[in-house]
Amino acid sequence: MTHRNSPRGVMTTAIHAGEGPDAATGASAPPLHMSSTFVTDQVAGFSAHDLQDNSAYLYARWGNPTVRMLEQKIAALEGTADCLCLASGMAAATAIFLTFLSAGDHVIVSDVSYAGVAELARDTLPRLGIRVSTVNMSDPAAVAAALRPDTRLIHTETPVNPIGRLTDLAAIAALAHGAGALLSCDATFASPLGQDCRALGVDLILHSVTKYIGGHGDAVGGAVAGSNELIARMRGEAAIHHGGVMSPFNAWLIARGLATLPLRMKAHEAGASAVAGWLETRPAVTRVIYPGLPSHPQHDLAQRQMRNMSAMISFQVGSADQGEALAQAMIERLETIHYAVSLGHHRSLIFWMGTRALMDTSFRLDGAQLADYRAYAGDGIFRLSVGLEDAEDLIADLGRVL
Ligand SMILES: *Cc1c(COP(=O)(O)O)cnc(C)c1O
């Protein structure tokens, strides 16, 4: 199996990119460099502006060899020239907004997105004088209508957390580039295996590496992959100046997880498709949303755009009261699946998300946008991250309550 972006196969890339036997010791596994500073032969030079591509390591806020290894692995998997890792997915999202937007600029953000990104876009960016339009990104005409002469960035997320709605990335990239704007995409739900963001025209590919890339639920981190020029600007602003850098220890854990990402994504997809198919047979379940199911409203786009359907399932059971009662039953009776937020781990996780509560806090949609959200989520959804357990055991566990 050869990889779209690399002369080597995707499994080889995930294992070997960014690393090699340690020059000093011959260690086959990459060393963990827990060093904040590096002995230098330079007399002076300590500004973000002095950082060159070939600069030696100086101080870990600028760069650390273990973090660099993870950045090179993610860049290789995404087929981009470079990548910047930061302390969390939110640090990575903030880095995009604060590097590429200034007071007076306009940004178009998906009207449904990871809750932290939605709240940042609705509350923080306007306070800094950045004008924000929130748009249903599954509708390219709505995005076209929202473009203005001062639009600098379009930020989308596909599949979108928590409802699994998709963005046609090639269509939105054409709109962004036609208007002289950048396109950033939060591809956390898809993982780098899910879609070829770079080939589809995305300039900045965002991952919460806390999720599939790390894959084991033990380390928080974020990454943005893109061109040398865009990533160098972000490294200067977001890493060196805003300072939210990734710990080398987290980078080492996450790189160890990433080595098996291609294998894990195949297993995640197989497990999710078995569980999603079973959920569709349950009388109590009124709606299942999974890009791999023919019943997904954008299944055609999913087949065109996605190489791996990942393992995020949303499902409904009727009214908000019914959803809350079922969530309570899950807390009491599930034995394998953890009732917890987050996703993309080897352990399966499930969480109830009521529509009214999300609207009051994160999304604040009304009119047609609320109707579009409810068309996917009704009064609320269970967000199920299917892990790597045996699908029969997950089905048996859900069978205790469904
Ligand atoms: C979790 C998540 C984030 C935020 O990442 P953290 O690592 O928790 O800061 C951003 N986007 C999506 C889609 C996520 O699922």
- Point out the ligand 1 atom lying closest to the alpha carbon of residue 93: 10
Check: CB of residue 99 under 8 Å from CB of residue 233.
yes
Pocket of ligand 1 (CB under 6 A): 88-90, 114, 116-117, 157, 161, 186, 188-189, 208, 210-211, 220, 222
- CATH level 2 (architecture), domain 10-258: 3-Layer(aba) Sandwich (3.40)
- Point out the ligand 1 atom lying closest to the alpha carbon of residue 90: 9
CB proximity list for 158: less than 8 A, separation 6 or greater: 137, 165, 166, 167, 169, 185, 186, 187, 189, 190, 195, 305
| pLDDT for position 56 | 86
What residue owns the CA closest to ligand 1's atom 5? Answer: 89
| pLDDT for position 1 | 39
- How much is the pTM? 0.96
Residue 124: CA count within 13 A, CB half-sphere: 13
Radius of gyration of the chain (CA): 21
261-398, what's its fold? Answer: Aspartate Aminotransferase, domain 1 (3.90.1150)
CA distances from 21 to 24, 25, 27, 29, 83 (A): 9, 8, 5, 7, 22
Q: Residue holding tokens 């300590």?
A: 46
What residue owns the CA closest to ligand 1's atom 11? Answer: 114
- Point out the ligand 1 atom lying closest to the alpha carbon of residue 220: 7
Check: CB of residue 96 under 8 Å from CB of residue 224.
yes
Check: CB of residue 362 under 8 Å from CB of residue 115.
yes
Cα(208) to centroid(ligand 1), Å: 5
Cα(309) to centroid(ligand 1), Å: 18
CA distances from 328 to 139, 275, 288, 351 (A): 36, 21, 20, 10
Preceding peptide of 159 cis, ω within 30°? yes
- Point out the ligand 1 atom lying closest to the alpha carbon of residue 113: 13
| pLDDT for position 6 | 57
Cα(255) to centroid(ligand 1), Å: 18
The span from the CA of 273 to the CA of 77, in Å, is 24
| pLDDT for position 2 | 41
The span from the CA of 176 to the CA of 286, in Å, is 37
What residue owns the CA closest to ligand 1's atom 1? Answer: 208
What residue owns the CA closest to ligand 1's atom 6? Answer: 89
Residue ranges covered by each domain of the chain? 10-258, 261-398
331: Cα separation from own chain's centroid: 27
Cα(246) to centroid(ligand 1), Å: 15
- Point out the ligand 1 atom lying closest to the alpha carbon of residue 161: 13
Regions of the chain with pLDDT less than 50:
1-3
At 68, the amino acid letter reads: R
Q: Residue holding tokens 């690393």?
A: 19
CB proximity list for 29: less than 8 A, separation 6 or greater: none
Cα(260) to centroid(ligand 1), Å: 20
pLDDT per residue as tens digits for the range 245-275: 999 999 999 999 999 999 999 999 999 999 9
Sheet hosting strand 312-316, strand order edge to edge: 287-289, 312-316, 380-385, 349-354, 338-339
CB proximity list for 310: less than 8 A, separation 6 or greater: 159, 189, 190, 191, 193, 194, 212, 265, 268, 269, 272, 291
| pLDDT for position 5 | 52
CB atoms under 10 Å from CB of 385, counted, come to 27
Mutate to test the pocket of ligand 1, among 74, 119, 161 (most ligand atoms within 8 A of CB): 161
